[in-house]
Amino acid sequence: MRTHHLAVIGGDGIGPDVTTAALAGVRAAADRYGFAVETTDFDLGAEAYLRTGVVVDEETTARLREHDAILLGAVGDPRVTPGVLERGLIVALRVAFRQSVNIRPVRLYPGLTSPVTGVDADNCDLVIIRENTEGLYTGGGGLAHAGTPGAVAIQNSVTTVPATTEAVDFAFRLAAARRKRLTLCHKKNVLVHAGQLWQDIVDEVAVRYPDVEHDYVHADAMCQHLPLNPGRFDVVVTDNLFGDIISDLGATVQGGLGLAASANYNPAGSAPSMYEPVHGSAPDIAGKGWANPAAAALSAALCLAGLGERDAALVLEAATASVLAELPAFAGPEMGADTAEIGARIAERVTDVDPAKIGDPSRS
Ligand code: NAD
Ligand code: IPM
Ligand code: MN
């Protein structure tokens, strides 16, 4: 029987609960399609850091690398200085494993109501492709004279041809397989150096995809266009920070952060890709059972697709969408079921759902 080896990092806050719930769906999909999933849990996150003083060491990174894929819940804890876990684990793994392409689908599934009036399943199906290793996330710079009136902070932004081209090329390929529209989102009216390089790379790659039309939208204007007219977009390609911000906006349009999936994808296949919800550890609801595991389940579906298990990916996505359509709300006690119960419902639905009902996730 073919076996996929998954590294599992539950992490902090709601991370472990949503990951456990998502794995129930993965196992049900594996049973339905006759493959095996072997998981290895990695004790990483706030507790491990507070205990050892180390976020992730080289030996652990090497063990993660041996897996076919990584499933991550979330990290971040009020007891730990912001950035220590987020940069030390997530950003570090994205860079170490050359996951230059972050895939963030924004899709309103049939039967679901968007918080935004006028948005429905027919006009909300786009994918944000976010360059995932550079921009302002490279971390260069420094803070001088901290705590004094003369304090100065410099935060460098780096844009290189290889990583940007990987993201742009992936985005064009995806658009070519979808509705053949690509939008570059940046802020080239002010960030003229990086903006020019992004535009140059898009124009250059576009020559290889003559069927795909492309346009440009400034990141600030995107914050109006995306919620009011998501149907205008098919694939949006953007830099690391803009992608972070507009993907939370996209999450809102599709029903909330509890529904938004992502894949940190290594296009060369030289190291494992990592799949995680767009949301964080949500300390405000941690331990209450109020977290929606749909984002984690849909991320796990992207993982199955990445592992070549297309049918299993499709049923996990369809089962999640079908369970979501029955929930009275997408977050909090108003969901009417807790995180584990929703995970169990998704797993049960995986056994008999008709994947044709929601279309083809291979597009994303
Ligand atoms: P967050 O995404 O954790 O939460 C934002 C809001 O959305 C909160 O009100 C939360 O309750 C709600 N929410 C999030 N996920 C939900 C779910 N599955 N179901 C229902 N509601 C959900 O963002 P934040 O509050 O800004 O950050 C909290 C911590 O998480 C911080 O430490 C931050 O750095 C970290 N963070 C981690 C990741 C990650 O691990 N990938 C992503 C974002 C933020
Ligand atoms: C996300 C998160 C991360 C990011 C943090 C936790 C490093 O917000 O995945 O969207 O900014 O990329
Ligand atoms: Mn984010």
For 75-106, the pLDDT digits (tens) are: 999 999 999 999 999 999 999 999 999 999 99
Question: Is any ligand 2 atom within 6 A of the Cβ of residue 134?
Answer: no
Burial class (CB in 10 A: 0-12, 13-18, 19+), 17: buried
The answer on pLDDT for 362 being more than 60 is no
Residue after which a domain boundary falls, among 185, 219, 253: 253
Q: Give distance in angstroms: CA of 294 to centre of ligand 1.
A: 14
- Write the pLDDT tens digit of every residue in 190-201: 999 999 999 999
Residues 208 and 273 in one domain: no
Residue after which a domain boundary falls, among 253, 278, 302: 253
Residues 33 and 52 in one domain: yes
Residues 148 and 222 in one domain: yes
As for how many domains the chain has, the answer is 2
- Counting from 1 in the atom list of ligand 2, the atom nearest the Cα of 247 is 10
3-state secondary structure of 336: coil
Distance CA 97, CA 114 (A): 35
Distance CA 294, CA 92 (A): 26
The answer on pLDDT for 357 being more than 80 is no
Residues 236 and 278 in one domain: no
Question: Is any ligand 1 atom within 6 A of the Cβ of residue 262?
Answer: no
Q: How large is the average pLDDT for residues 28-32? A: 98
Q: Give distance in angstroms: CA of 356 to centre of ligand 3.
A: 31
Q: Percent of the chain having pLDDT more than 90?
A: 97
Q: pLDDT value at position 156?
A: 97
The answer on pLDDT for 47 being more than 50 is yes
Q: pLDDT value at position 274?
A: 99
Q: Give distance in angstroms: CA of 285 to centre of ligand 1.
A: 9
pLDDT confidence bin for 337, thresholds 50/70/90:
very high
The answer on pLDDT for 265 being more than 70 is yes
Q: Give distance in angstroms: CA of 149 to centre of ligand 2.
A: 30
The label of the residue with tokens 């795909």 reads 212
pLDDT confidence bin for 361, thresholds 50/70/90:
very low
* Domain assignment present for 123: no
Residue after which a domain boundary falls, among 253, 274, 295: 253
Ligand nearest to the CA of 264: 2
Q: Give distance in angstroms: CA of 361 to centre of ligand 1.
A: 25
Residue to mutate (ligand 1; options 281, 292, 327; most atoms within 8 A of CB) = 281
Question: Is any ligand 1 atom within 6 A of the Cβ of residue 276?
Answer: yes
3 contacts: CB under 8 Å, gap ≥ 6: 35, 36, 37, 38
- Write the pLDDT tens digit of every residue in 202-250: 999 999 999 999 999 999 999 999 999 999 999 999 999 999 999 999 9
- Counting from 1 in the atom list of ligand 1, the atom nearest the Cα of 80 is 32
* Domain assignment present for 24: yes
- Write the pLDDT tens digit of every residue in 166-181: 999 999 999 999 999 9
Question: Is any ligand 1 atom within 6 A of the Cβ of residue 89?
Answer: no
Give, using CA atoms, the residue closest to atom 7 of ligand 2: 86
The answer on pLDDT for 358 being more than 90 is no
Residue 196 belongs to domain with CATH number: 3.40.50.2300
Residues 97 and 44 in one domain: yes
Q: How large is the average pLDDT for residues 243-270? A: 98
Q: pLDDT value at position 359?
A: 59
The pTM (predicted TM-score) of the whole model is: 0.97
For the chain, what is the mean pLDDT?
Answer: 96
Residue 17 belongs to domain with CATH number: 3.40.718.10
Residues 244 and 273 in one domain: no
- 23 lies in which domain range? 1-112+256-364
Q: pLDDT value at position 356?
A: 82
Question: Is any ligand 1 atom within 6 A of the Cβ of residue 285?
Answer: yes
- Indicate the residue type of 75: V
Q: How large is the average pLDDT for residues 265-269? A: 97
What phi, psi does 25 have (nearest 5°)?
-65, -40
Ligand nearest to the CA of 249: 3
Ligand nearest to the CA of 248: 3
* Domain assignment present for 21: yes
ipTM: 0.99
> Ligand 3 (ion): which residues have CB within 5 A?
244
Cα dihedral across residues 352, 360, 303, 89: positive or negative: negative
Q: Give distance in angstroms: CA of 291 to centre of ligand 1.
A: 10
Ligand nearest to the CA of 102: 2
Q: pLDDT value at position 350?
A: 97
- Write the pLDDT tens digit of every residue in 271-296: 999 999 999 999 999 999 999 999 99
Burial class (CB in 10 A: 0-12, 13-18, 19+), 178: middle
Q: Percent of the chain having pLDDT more than 70?
A: 98
Residues 261 and 247 in one domain: no
The label of the residue with tokens 């802020």 reads 187
